[in-house]
Structure 1
Amino acid sequence: MEKDRLTFALPKGRLLDDAVKLLLQVGIDASATLEETRKLIFESGEFRFILVKPMDVPTYVYYGAADLGIAGKDVIDEKGLEVYEPLDLKFGFCRLCVAEPVDVAEPYDIEKLSFIKVATKFPKITDKYFRSRGVHPEIIELYGSVEIAPLLGLSDRIVDLVQTGSTLKANGLREVDTILVSTARLIVNRASLKTRYDRIKPLIDAIKNNV
C-alpha cells in the first residue's frame, strides 16, 4: 500500500480549510491535517498528505515528492516550475498589488517611471512585471511585515497580496496597481500524470465537477 498511495502536498495557512473541504467532497479525507499537531505527514486510505509552507508546494510537486498539490496562482508563478496546472479551484481569492503611502510626494504613474525601489516577497513576479513595462526595479526581498518598508524608507512601494485591503489601510498605504489575481489551483507532477494516469485523471475530473 505504501508505494501505491498518491501523495498530496497541502499548504499550511489560509488555503488549508477550503482545500480539505473540497477534497472531502470527492471522498478524500484530509481532515487530520487540520488537527493541532506537529505532524507534517498524514495517511488516509489511498492517500498520503504532506503539510508544507505554501511557497514550497510547487517544489514538492515538481520534484516528485508529491504527485499532486494545491497552491495559489501567485506562488505557482513566483516559483516558475514546470508543473501541470489543470484546475482553478475558485477559492483563496486575492490580488497581488503595488501599493504606496497615501501621502507619497509623487503618486504612482507607471508611464512616468524609469526606476522603482520595491519591497516584496515575490521578487520574480515583481521584476518581470516592471521590466515588461520598461521600468527598472530594485527589488528588496522581505518575508514578513512588507507593509512597513515604505514607512521606514526602505522602499518606495511594495508588492504584496491583498484580500480586503484593511492591512494596507491600517499602515497608511493604498493600492495603485494590480499585477495578478490569484486563486488556488490544483497542480500535478508531470511524470506522475503519465505513470499514474488511471488514478490521477479520474481524480482531476471529480474535483472539476465540484468547483
Structure 2
Amino acid sequence: MEWLTVAIAKGRIEKDMNKIFYEIGMGDWIDQGSRKLVFEDHVNLIKYIFVKPVDVVTYVEKGVADLGVVGKDVILEQEGDVYELLDLQFGKCTFAVASFPQNKQFRLKNNIRIATKYPNITKKYFQKEDIEIIPLNGSVELAPIMGLSDVIVDLVETGNTLKANGLVVLEEMMPISAKVICNKVSYRFQYEKIMSYTRKISEGREKYNENLSIN
C-alpha cells in the first residue's frame, strides 16, 4: 500500500492541525517539541512534512506532497493548479481594503496606490480599476501612514493592528480559512485513501470545533 504525504503550513495552522490529529487518535506520530520537519506514521502510512505556508501549494502542485493544509489566502495568491477538498473552518479572517477613515472614497481617485503582500489577489480584485500595486513584505499598515500608498490590502482578523495605527476597514473583500488541498494526479490514483483520510480529518475538525464552542 502506498504512503500519503501531507504538507502542513507551519505556525498557527500547524498547531490547530496537531489538535485535530489528537482528536482522531493520530497525534502520537508528531513530536510538537521537535525541530524535525518530517514525521512518519508507520501505522497509517502517512508522512507529514512541515513547510512555510507559501511553499505548501508548490509541494502539492509538484507532486512531492499528495495533500496540503494551508490558508485560502496562500492558495489564491500562488494560483496553484490543485484541488480544494475540505474547508477546515479555522484560521478564519477576512481580506480587506484598509486605510484612514477619510480615504473611504478611494475608488473615486485615479491611479489608486495599493500596498499589499498579495499582489495577485489585489490585481484580480481591482481588475477594472486604475491602480498601482506596491508589493511589500513587512507591516503594510505603515504604507498609508508614511504616504507610500492610499490604501492597503491585507488579512484582518481582530482589526487591533489597524486600530492601533489609526486605520479602519474600508471594504471587505472575501472570507479566508484553512483548506485541505490535493495534487490532481494523486487524487486520481490514490482516491480511496485520500477520501478516507479527508473524512477522518473532517471528523476531527468537527470534534475540535465542538470543543472550542464549549470552552
Instruction: Judge same fold: TM > 0.5, yes or no.
Output: yes
Q: Which amino acid aligns with 1:50?
A: I
Number of the residue aligned with 1:116: 112
Number of the residue aligned with 2:122: 126
- Is 2:105 the partner of 1:137? no
More helix by share: 2
Q: Which amino acid aligns with 1:209?
A: E
Q: Which amino acid aligns with 1:161?
A: L
- Is 2:144 the partner of 1:147? no
User: Against the structure 1 CA distance between its residues 19 and 192, is the aligned structure 2 distance closer, same or farther, given a 3 Å change threshold?
Assistant: same
Number of the residue aligned with 2:212: none
Distance in 2 between the 1:119 and 1:23 partners?
37
User: Against the structure 1 CA distance between its residues 22 and 115, is the aligned structure 2 distance closer, same or farther, given a 3 Å change threshold?
Assistant: same
Q: Which amino acid aligns with 2:33?
A: E
Q: Which amino acid aligns with 2:116?
A: T
Number of the residue aligned with 2:213: none
- Is 2:187 the partner of 1:193? yes
Cα deviation, residue 36, structure 1: 4.7
- The question of whether the paired residues in 2 share the 8 Å contact of 1:113 and 1:135 is answered with no
Number of the residue aligned with 2:9: 11
Q: Deviations over 1:21-50 (max 9, x none)?
A: 12333333276363252x222223222111
User: Against the structure 1 CA distance between its residues 148 and 124, is the aligned structure 2 distance closer, same or farther, given a 3 Å change threshold?
Assistant: same
User: Against the structure 1 CA distance between its residues 182 and 167, is the aligned structure 2 distance closer, same or farther, given a 3 Å change threshold?
Assistant: same
Q: Alignment partner of 1:32: what SS? A: coil
Q: How do 1:77-116 residues align onto structure 2 when only pairs under 5 Å count?
A: 77-102=76-101, 104=102, 106-110=103-107, 112-116=108-112
Q: Which amino acid aligns with 1:53?
A: K
Further displaced range: 186-195 or 23-32 = 23-32
Q: Alignment partner of 2:174: what SS? A: strand
So what's the TM-score if we normalise by structure 2? 0.87
- The question of whether the paired residues in 2 share the 8 Å contact of 1:11 and 1:53 is answered with yes
Q: Which amino acid aligns with 1:192?
A: S
Alignment identity in percent?
Answer: 44
Q: Alignment partner of 2:19: what SS? A: helix
Distance in 2 between the 1:68 and 1:80 partners?
16
User: Against the structure 1 CA distance between its residues 202 and 36, is the aligned structure 2 distance closer, same or farther, given a 3 Å change threshold?
Assistant: closer
RMSD over aligned Cα, in angstroms? 1.8
So what's the TM-score if we normalise by structure 1? 0.88
Cα deviation, residue 81, structure 1: 1.0
Q: Deviations over 1:135-186 (max 9, x none)?
A: 1221111111111111111111111111000011111111111111001111
- The question of whether the paired residues in 2 share the 8 Å contact of 1:100 and 1:108 is answered with no
Cα deviation, residue 92, structure 1: 0.5
- Is 2:47 the partner of 1:53? no
User: Against the structure 1 CA distance between its residues 80 and 33, is the aligned structure 2 distance closer, same or farther, given a 3 Å change threshold?
Assistant: farther
Residue number among 156, 159, 170 corresponding to 1:162 in the alignment:
156
Q: How do 1:25-40 residues align onto structure 2 when only pairs under 5 Å count?
A: 25-29=23-27, 32=30, 34-37=32-35, 39-40=36-37
Cα deviation, residue 15, structure 1: 1.5
User: Against the structure 1 CA distance between its residues 145 and 28, is the aligned structure 2 distance closer, same or farther, given a 3 Å change threshold?
Assistant: same
User: Against the structure 1 CA distance between its residues 101 and 31, is the aligned structure 2 distance closer, same or farther, given a 3 Å change threshold?
Assistant: farther
